[in-house]
Amino acid sequence: MFRRASSLVTAALLFATAACNNPAPQKAELERMARSMQSMGEPVKFETLQEYLPSAEFLKQDGWQKTEMTGMALSVPVKGSQAQVTIRKGDTEIVVDIIDTVFNQSLYAPVAAFLASGFSVKNDTGHKKAITIQNQPAFEEWALTDRRASITVLVGERFLVHLQGKGFSGTDPVKAVASQINMAKLATLK
């Protein structure tokens, strides 16, 4: 089964683990730094984020089968939440994540450079390029060698929508699933 945890959630979990495994003075400093990078707002509940994942109607109509849906909330050292669904069609699979960063720039900084208009890298094994999806900055990546396609969208400078697929000859099927997420409405969540 293809499973790839979001690198942003992984980074937050690694940060949390580092904070927990360090002596008290270092742990306290790491937690203070994390809190200072984040807004005072609260994360949207992961159950609410799950409502924005592609609908069962769309999935059935387009031949996709939902295999697993999960959600989680994170409060220490940084606040956030995540909703995830895994869908399959034949030999292809897409994992869809919606992550509330609560405006913590350290959680989306790793992808910020790829979102810049005009960013593009292409070679014999695939490509990465900045795109726009539903008027939101995004980037796509496709790797020929392992037939993986991904789309990452920064929604309302707060939410990261990440779709990671395998078994594709391009990014169009992943974009089609991304188009089923109402990003304009997601951007209004508080």
Identify the CA nearest to 190 among candidates 159, 154, 152, 153.
159
Poorest-pLDDT segment among 7-11, 28-32, 65-69, 146-150:
7-11
**Per-residue pLDDT, 32:** 58
Whether residue 12 lies inside any domain: the answer is: yes
DSSP collapsed to 3 states, 90-104: CCEEEEEEEEECCCC
58 CB-contact burial (10 Å; exposed 0-12 / middle 13-18 / buried 19+): middle
The pLDDT value given to residue 8: 44
Query: pLDDT (tens digit, 9 = 90+) per residue, 18-67?
Result: 444 445 556 566 555 555 555 567 899 999 999 999 988 899 999 999 99
Q: Give me the number of domains the chain comprises.
A: 1
Answer yes or no: is 137 within a domain. Answer: yes
pLDDT tens string 73-88: 987 677 899 999 999 9
Residue 158 domain-assigned (yes or no): yes
Distance of CA 60 to the CA centre of its chain: 23
Rounded CA separation 51/47 (Å): 7
**Residue range(s) defining the domain that contains residue 156:** 7-186
With respect to residue 1, please indicate whether it lies within any of the assigned structural domains. Answer: no
User: Which of 61, 81, 55 lies closest to 70, judged by CA?
Assistant: 81
Query: Which whole number is the average pLDDT over 96-113?
Result: 81
Which pLDDT score, from 0 to 100, does residue 39 have?
A: 55
pLDDT tens readout for residues 108-145: 677 777 888 888 999 999 999 999 999 999 999 999 99
Q: What is the layout of strands, in order, in the sheet containing 92-100?
A: 65-74, 80-89, 92-100, 159-166, 148-155, 136-143, 126-133, 120-123
Q: Is the pLDDT of residue 185 over 70?
A: yes
Q: Which tops the pLDDT comparison, 54 or 5?
A: 54
∠61-170-150 over CA atoms, to 5°? 85
What pLDDT is recorded for position 105? 73
CATH of the domain at 38: 3.40.1000.20
Is the confidence at residue 7, as pLDDT, over 50?
Answer: no
The pTM assigned to this predicted structure is 0.78
Residue 16 resides in a domain: yes
Beta strands in 101-183 (DSSP E): 120-123, 126-133, 136-143, 148-155, 159-166
Measured at the CA of 150, the angle between CA 87 and CA 121, to 5 degrees, comes to: 165
**83 lies in some domain:** yes
Question: What local confidence, expressed as pLDDT, does residue 111 receive?
Answer: 75
Q: Is 76 exposed, middle or buried (0-12, 13-18, 19+ CB in 10 A)?
A: exposed
Assess if residue 41 is contained within a domain: yes
What integer is the mean pLDDT of 93-122?
84
- 2, part of any domain: no
Neighbours of 151 (CB within 10 A): 24
